Amino acid sequence: MDNESVKKNIMNLRLERSLTQRQMAEELGMARNTYRSIEKGKTQMISETVMKVAEWAGVTPEEIVLGYLPSESGSIQLKEARERFNKRVNEITEEYETRIAGLMKEIRMLNDLLKEKDDNIRNLKSIVALIEKGQEQRKND
């Protein structure tokens, strides 16, 4: 990590958010010229001392600036987040599959009730037809 990288990263963040230098400066609470100096590389964000200490200690500048090595810590945190996410996805999937199975059973039961109702209506219509036929025959006799 050097000042050139930091400068590019800051500028990319601003451009990703479609901000002008003036807007970015306002967001950061600084004058536009101050922000422009940072983006142009006139203002150093990372001290040469940090680079020298990192080189001397055999660590990355990120470890000195952040207090940890981002790739190692980040990958552990990412792995843990993935595990929590996958566990929750599995729990939700199981809940929904159980709910769907229950609803499917309920649908089958309701379909059976509908069929039974249709059978009852058909039987009642047959009975009514027989009664009407009997009454008509009595009238004719």
**pLDDT tens series, the chain, 141 aa:** 566 777 888 888 889 999 999 999 999 899 999 889 888 888 777 677 777 888 888 888 777 777 777 666 566 777 888 899 999 999 999 999 999 999 999 999 999 999 999 999 999 999 999 999 999 998 887
pTM above 0.95, yes or no: no
Structural domains of the chain, count:
2
| 61 within some domain | no
Q: Which domain holds residue 96?
A: 68-141
Q: Minimal CA–CA distance to 20: which of 44, 28, 121, 86?
A: 28
Residue 115: CB atoms within 10 Å = 10
Residue 59 lies in a domain: no
User: What is the C-alpha to C-alpha distance for residues 128 and 118, in angstroms, rounded to an integer?
Assistant: 15
The reply to whether 72 and 117 lie within a common domain is yes
**Rounded Cα–Cα distance for residues 106 and 115 (Å):** 14
Q: Is residue 108 part of a domain?
A: yes
**28 and 76 in a common domain:** no
Question: Has residue 4 been placed in a domain?
Answer: yes
Indicate the residue type of 138: R
58 falls within a domain = no
Q: Is residue 102 part of a domain?
A: yes
